[in-house]
Structure 1
């Protein structure tokens, strides 16, 4: 295998509050090995269109150790994807070899020796296809996936960077809204909508509000459990007979037994991977239903993209693990591993302990990790203590922001 001198790194899919921590880990580790570090602008799509940045120059790493360290720290704490992102589905290598020949030509022009791709399910599909094409055509370039997604639905890792910070935000906001909803002596129902197309991990994190304000959500509605609206209304009515303020955390992907969503899916376009491009409206629908059928004050609150970019609520554990996985990605490529994803293996929840392992990316791509039955209550309307034990270590610690004039500082846009 040829000596690695230049690595190419990209970010893809939905951004998170921790994805740049992984990028910081990649750049810091690669720079310490005297590697040339190039970044895809807007993922593999931008790379094909010629948009590539020299990250050593962009971060001014050669100027002084203090400047380099300050920029690494700022990058770690900056939300969203600093390199930009894309949702671009690669064709199958055997169906469109000319497409991959274009990629190879661009790589040869830039002298690329290894590729690291930071992303979720769809990004691991890209990692898998690139590595398989290179292996089948004798191209000696390692391809390594680095996980991220707030949905936490990626196989091959106990949890994904980005999830812990988003979960911390959802738990905190749920507790704050619980306090707010209890102000007036009237009957009211609050629906809080969290992201999650197929898996309800982020919605489950709302149950941690009980650790914050002493009152857990009354119901947690997951996409893993089909919803009967009539049963839900009956449960809400019974709970309102006992208390004034009912709080329900609901996943955007909750659906009925026939598979239909509560919102109008027919009016929403799909992306290149076949996913609904915008999936929201569940909380608003249920709020209107509760108001009409139960005659109580009701509101639907959609957290939307706030949960994936809320760096002010970032989990220190999440940022630490994201950066460590970036480092592990570089190490894996230097050790001649390819077609793998670096992932987190949990050794213990209390005390919390993990280790990083590599797994074949083919075992990860295009698969969805759902919440296991042991973490869902028997009636399907909440989560169990097993879920809380899983979640708590991921959100427990906060990281202080870098301040400038009393306000958080982010790294300037690339």
Structure 2
């Protein structure tokens, strides 16, 4: 086992409202153990291009000389998006591109890196697995640990992912608000709200929480786990119009036809570096056009888009706390000699809500998708069950705290990292 003195940390994939809370947890825990922390600028891609930042110089109270002082780490934790920048960069298998990994090893050696922490989702865990495999094959004693992050909540090996609870809270809140707005004129209308969720419908399912507060919306939830049935949707809308005037539909961006194809034409979508559909949004507008063919009323398609992943003003305090804890746990895992694994959450109980942190081998979870299980989806495929609501409720709690730091009524964020690695 190597002695850990200097740790490299990166953020990868889509940002979230709380990904910086995990980074803050890493930084604070590293300081507690006297470790030096180096940040990758724009993930593994930026690191391989030689772009790094010394986070110990920036955030350690004994070293930083900026006005934020000891509060800098706390301010970082409540700043949305990825402080270090991100990337979507697929690593080759080391057997197929040895020079690539030799360059990586040289870059690590030049900075005297003893351990690596990588904060991200499914594709980031693929990166953790590949680097770990290369190190194991070449007897390189540098541990690599993954820290989970994704608003999609589709990562195996953890009860839920940091970022999801805050996005879920935002979506449920927006559905409540839009439902009130849509019914103000007392005339028939259809509002279609599109959520993220390329492969799994967790975010769409979370919209059901809006009904917990005496609201009657959403009326229909369309998930990727249930094949889209045009006739069933139109029939259900028609039946709803017999008893109410305003209908709210929530549709995941990943809703697919029975043959597995997207609702949009193939010419309108493209693939990312990992072979996933990119820029997949558009289902709200597609469904709005479909409804216009069948119903003579006001119809509106709304895409929540990036708002879901940066709305720190609606962040869940539970989410912020767990994101920080998992960042700190990543440091602890390195110091305990673990490698090729991800720290994750294991639910102990729903009421009272309790979780434990555990480690899971990254080879067991990389490139896999955690779908909404069938027993959390209603028999008609357009709603969720009580089991789903029981799972979701604790994740959106804000604990009666303001999620963001405020000044004069507006949020205050940590300044952006400059080109010369300062504030």
Give 1:215 shift. 1.9
What is the rounded CA distance, in whole Å, between the counterparts of 2:83 and 2:214 in structure 1?
35
Aligned partner of 1:220 in structure 2 is: 221
Residue 405 (structure 2) aligns with = 402
- List aligned pairs for 1:1-400, cutoff 5 A: 1-59=1-59, 61-63=61-63, 67-397=68-398, 399-400=401-402
Q: Deviations over 1:259-316 (max 9, x none)?
A: 1211223322211101122011101111111122111211110000000000000000
CA distance in structure 1 between the aligned counterparts of 2:228 and 2:348, rounded to whole angstroms:
34
Partner of 2:415: 412
Question: Alpha-carbon deviation of 1:68?
Answer: 4.2
**Does the CA-based 8 Å contact 2:57-2:63 persist in structure 1?**
no
Question: 1:396 Cα deviation (Å)?
Answer: 2.0
**1:211 CA drift (Å):** 1.6
Distance in 1 between residues matched to 2:129 and 2:69, nearest whole Å: 33
Q: Is the 8 A contact 2:219 2:247 kept in 1?
A: yes
Contact 1:290 1:296 in 2 (8 A): no
Deviations along 1:355-404, whole A, 9 cap, x unmatched? Answer: 00000001110000000011000010111111111000000225312112
Q: Secondary structure at the match of 2:191?
A: strand
What's the secondary structure of 2:153's corresponding residue? Answer: coil
Indicate if the aligned counterparts of 1:200 and 1:370 stay in contact, CA closer than 8 A.
yes
Moved more, 218-227 or 56-65: 56-65
CA displacement at 1:3 relative to structure 2: 1.0
| Distance in 2 (alpha carbons) for counterparts of 1:405 and 1:311 | 17
Q: Separation in 1 of the partners of 2:213 and 2:13?
A: 31
Q: Does the 8 Å CA contact 2:57/2:64 hold for their aligned counterparts?
A: no
Deviation at 1:64, TM superposition (A): 7.3
User: Contact conserved, 2:12 with 2:42, CA < 8 A, in 1?
Assistant: yes
User: 1:17-42: CA deviations, max 9, x gaps?
Assistant: 01000000000000111111100000
TM-score (normalised: structure 2): 0.96
1:63, CA displacement in angstroms? Answer: 4.4
Q: Return the alpha-carbon distance in structure 1 between the equivalents of residues 332 and 188 of structure 2.
A: 57
Post-superposition Cα deviations, 1:46-75, rounded to whole Å, max 9, x if no partner, equal: 000000000012235324799443111110
| Stretch moving more, 167-176 or 215-224 | 215-224
Root-mean-square deviation over aligned CA pairs:
1.3
The SS at the match of 2:293 is helix
What is the TM-score when the length of structure 1 is the normalising length?
Answer: 0.98
Q: Secondary structure at the match of 1:411?
A: coil
Farther off after superposition, 58-67 or 291-300: 58-67
Moved more, 273-282 or 111-120: 273-282
Greater Cα offset, 214-223 or 86-95: 214-223
